[in-house]
Structures are given as structure tokens and as C-alpha cells.
Structure 1
Amino acid sequence: MLHLLRLEYTVSEEAAEPHVKEHVAFLDRHHAAGTFLVSGQTVPSEQGGLIIAAGVDRAGAEEIAAGDPFVRAGVGRYTITTIVPGRAHPALAELLAPFGP
């Protein structure tokens, strides 16, 4: 399974700024663990960001999202969409194979 985690700020981007350093550490930790495949800001950035996560079930994805410093500080919230990859570009097929049906 893959999970698309959409982060939405619940305050202005400026109000979330004090929590960015801790949020980046959160991202780094999950990228290093291999759970986050991709992460980045949306365009425009004041909307929040997106993460593609793998290697955890839905409950694990929800737990990860709840641990984001933005969420803990009340400046962000996540919407999670879970997918089972059915098709992928050949360049991604090997990467996604462990997470498919």
C-alpha cells in the first residue's frame, strides 16, 4: 500500500514557521527509515505539502501524520488517501513492487 498524505496548514504559513525546523527533522527521519518516498511543498506553498509514504498500513500512516510537529502544534492537519498500486511507469515498477498487490 501507498499513502498520499496531504498536509494543510490550519494557520498562516508565517504562523507555522516556528515549527519548520522540527517538521524538517520529522521528514528526514521518515525518509531515512524508507517510509517516505517523496515529500515536498505544494505550489503555492501556503497550501501545505504532500508526502508519499509506503511500508506501513493505514493505521501506521495515521500515527505518523499525528506525530508531525505541525499537527502536534495545531498548525497543520493531514488528509490521507490510501492506494494499492495497480500500474506504474517502468522506472517506478521496481521501487513500488513491494507495495503492490
Structure 2
Amino acid sequence: MLHVLTVSYTGSEEEAAPFVRDHVGYLERHHADGLFLVSGQTVPSSQGGAIVAYGVDRETIERISAEDPFVVNGVATHSITTIEPGRVHPALAELLAATEASRD
């Protein structure tokens, strides 16, 4: 399963600022384990950010989403859209297959 997590600030960017270091650590940890494929700020950044995750079920991504320091500290929420990939660009298909193989 592929998941798109939309990260929305509940207040201002300034209110989230004290938690950025821990949030970045959260992102780095999940990029390193292969779960997060892409993450970044929205444009404009004052809206929040987005994460593309792959390889876990909905229940697991909901649990992981709830562990984001931004969410834990009440400065952001995550909206999760789950996608069952149908048609996939060949380059992305290779990445998804490699990610899946690394988990086996």
C-alpha cells in the first residue's frame, strides 16, 4: 500500500518551530528504514508538509503517523490517503519492488 500523509499545522509555523528537530529525526528514521519515500514542505510552507510512505498497512501507518513529534505535541495533524497502486511509472515500480525486497 502507498500512503500520502498531508501534514497540516494546527497553528503557525512558529508554534511548530520548537519541535522541528525531533520531527526531522522522525523523518530521517523512517526514510532510513525505507518506509518514507518522499517528504517535504508544502508551498507555501506555512501550510505544513507531505509524506509519501510505502509498504505497510493502513493501521501501521496510522500508528506511525501518531508518533510524529508535531502530532504528539499538538502543533500538526496528519490526513492519510491510502492508494492501491494500479498504474505505476517504470522507475517508481523498480523503487517499490526494491523497497519491498529489502523488507523480506
TM-score band (shorter)? over 0.9
Pairwise mapping of residues 1-101 of structure 1 onto structure 2 (< 5 A)? Answer: 1-97=1-97, 98=100
Instruction: State the Cα RMSD in Å.
Output: 0.9
Measured in 1, the distance between the counterparts of 2:74 and 2:43 equals 22
User: Any idea what SS the aligned residue of 2:52 has?
Assistant: strand
Query: 5+ unaligned residues in a row in structure 1: which ranges?
Result: none
Q: Number of paired residues?
A: 98
Extract structure 1 runs of 4+ deviating beyond 6 A.
Answer: none
The residue identity in structure 2 corresponding to 1:83 is I
Query: 5+ unaligned residues in a row in structure 2: which ranges?
Result: none
Question: TM-score normalised to the size of structure 2?
Answer: 0.91
Question: TM-score normalised to the size of structure 1?
Answer: 0.93
State percent identity of aligned pairs.
65
Deviation at 1:93, TM superposition (A): 1.5
Deviation at 1:41, TM superposition (A): 0.4
